[in-house]
Amino acid sequence: MRRMIIIAGTALTCALAALLVVAALMGNTVEAAALDTAPGLQHALRTRQNQQNTAAPARAARTNNLTYHNGPTMRTTSTTYAIFWVPTGSYVSSTYESLIQRYFGDVGGSGLYNNNTQYSDTTGHIINSSTLGGSYVDTSAYPSGTLTDAQVQQEVSKAMTAKGWTASITHLFFVFTAKGENICLNSSTCSFTYFCAYHSHFGSNTLYAAMPYTGTNLAACGVSTSPNGDIDADSTINVTSHEHMEAVTDPLGSAWYDSRGNEIGDKCAWIFGTLNAAGGDVTWNGHNYIVQKEWDNKISGCTLTGP
């Protein structure tokens, strides 16, 4: 199986697909979208540059709907947990943590989250309900200047133990790091040069997302406006939304994705709506955000309010 799923992959012939699987088993990064249903594999959001470099395949990815592959969704209320791994002396913007937590409190009941309700699993349709279960700030030092996925998982486990949180198919743990800290899946697959964030799982339904500090490289992972006066936080909220909606509809890589392996957010990555006067494209509970659109099977297109 592949080490990663990457947004907007190229079309594959059967022969090439076989070669890619072999390459993945050898530990190489594969750039084309493919199915990824094994535990521990990562599903990543490409940087803006990598998305642009695959513009034609990205357009092709928007011609077919998501289909169901018999796995679970986060069908009932999704509970999110924000883990801020910010060592003493490192930098995050002054409103970074509070704005991200506000997003988690606002997104449930929104038109964007309502788009998920058209998707179902064997127990029924996803409901429009999400809540912030809690937050945890870890000021301990990073083990190195570049984190591995295993170290991100270890941080999730550390926070769960410290706070008494439990794993569940409806619990999602976000690990937010400080400015300048890199995350690499291998020597050539790193944050800001290849991806902006990813979601995955380990153990018994421990769902998590790795969220590097987008302000480290706004050209790669940033948004164009800042409705909350904090471009770093606004940019991270956008990629958080991407990973959030994907995890809700495809938590284990076995539920909703298209024939190329693209999830609900992949098909609309870096596509935004019309901006309001504040510079956002959505307003939830009186708060403005700029978030990408998500795939709507009903219209076979990208939307901010569905279905």
Give the per-residue pLDDT at 59.
Answer: 53
Give the per-residue pLDDT at 94.
Answer: 98
- Tokens 């077919």 belong to which residue? 64
Give the per-residue pLDDT at 62.
Answer: 63
Give the per-residue pLDDT at 255.
Answer: 97
Give the per-residue pLDDT at 44.
Answer: 86
Cα(138)–Cα(158) distance, integer angstroms: 9
Instruction: Say whether pLDDT at 289 is over 90.
Output: yes
Task: Evaluate whether 111 touches 302 at the Cβ level (below 8 Å).
Answer: no
Q: Which two tokens stand for residue 205?
A: 């339904």
Cα(277)–Cα(129) distance, integer angstroms: 28
Give the per-residue pLDDT at 209.
Answer: 98
SS3 content of the chain, % helix, strand, coil (to 5): 30, 25, 45
Instruction: Say whether pLDDT at 201 is over 70.
Output: yes
User: Which pTM was predicted?
Assistant: 0.86
Lowest-confidence range among 53-57, 97-101, 194-198, 289-293?
53-57
Mean pLDDT, range 204-219, rounded to an integer: 97
pLDDT in tens, 168-194: 999 999 999 999 999 999 988 999 999
**pLDDT class of 51 with cuts at 50, 70, 90:** confident
The set of residues, in sequence order, having a beta carbon less than 8 Å from that of 159 and lying 6+ positions away, is 81, 83, 136, 138, 165, 173
**pLDDT class of 53 with cuts at 50, 70, 90:** low
% of the chain beyond a pLDDT of 90: 79
DSSP string, 103-151: HHHHSTTSHHHHGGGG-EETTEEPPS-EEEEEEEEE-SPPSSSEE-HHH
Give the per-residue pLDDT at 7.
Answer: 33
What is the average pLDDT score of the chain?
A: 87
Q: Identify residue 177 by its one-letter amino acid code.
A: T
Mean pLDDT, range 59-87, rounded to an integer: 91
* Three-class secondary structure of residue 166 per DSSP: coil
Instruction: Say whether pLDDT at 102 is over 80.
Output: yes
